[in-house]
Amino acid sequence: MYEILKILHIVSFVSWFAGLFYLPRLFVYHVENNTNREMNDVFQKMEYKLLRVIMNPAMILTWIFGLGLIHYVGFASWLVLKIILVIILSGFHMYLAKIRKKLEHNYRDYSSRYLRIINEVPTILLILIVILVVAKPF
């Protein structure tokens, strides 16, 4: 059962991260084309479906399978830190949902530069999480 949970956890977090990498990039394109009503509608639809159909289920499954794995690996210092990073990542996910909702209502206070910067947040968290899981430094 451990191997199955591990496979499902990996598949779900890869799907989640794909969305975390792509959604902020869609936001960049969205704000850069905010005067084009047709493009605005297309980006809103893409952002909505990415968040609701792919990212939300993938995040939930990542948590479920990850918590299931704790039964097999037990708690360790590195795992506590990993869980903290995943909580931060989940908060970032919710922040992206908030941005999507504001863009849907034509809130235009986000610059493409800001959105490009926050697009790097999941990369940093992914690197830290992978280091913890592979190296188990403490």
Tokens of 107: 């809130």
pTM: 0.94
Residues 6 or more apart whose Cβ sits within 8 Å of residue 51? 19, 23, 96, 97, 100
Q: Tell me: pLDDT of 108 over 80.
A: no
Residues 61 and 68: their CA atoms lie apart, in Å, by 10
User: What local confidence, expressed as pLDDT, does residue 61 receive?
Assistant: 98
pLDDT tens-digit series, residues 45-85: 999 999 999 999 999 999 999 999 999 988 899 999 999 99
Half-sphere exposure of 64 toward its Cβ, with a 13 Å CA cutoff?
10
User: Which sequence spans correspond to the domains of the chain?
Assistant: 2-135
3-state secondary structure of 5: helix
User: What local confidence, expressed as pLDDT, does residue 109 receive?
Assistant: 85
Pair 53, 127: CB distance under 8 Å: no
The share of the chain scoring above pLDDT 70, in percent, equals: 100
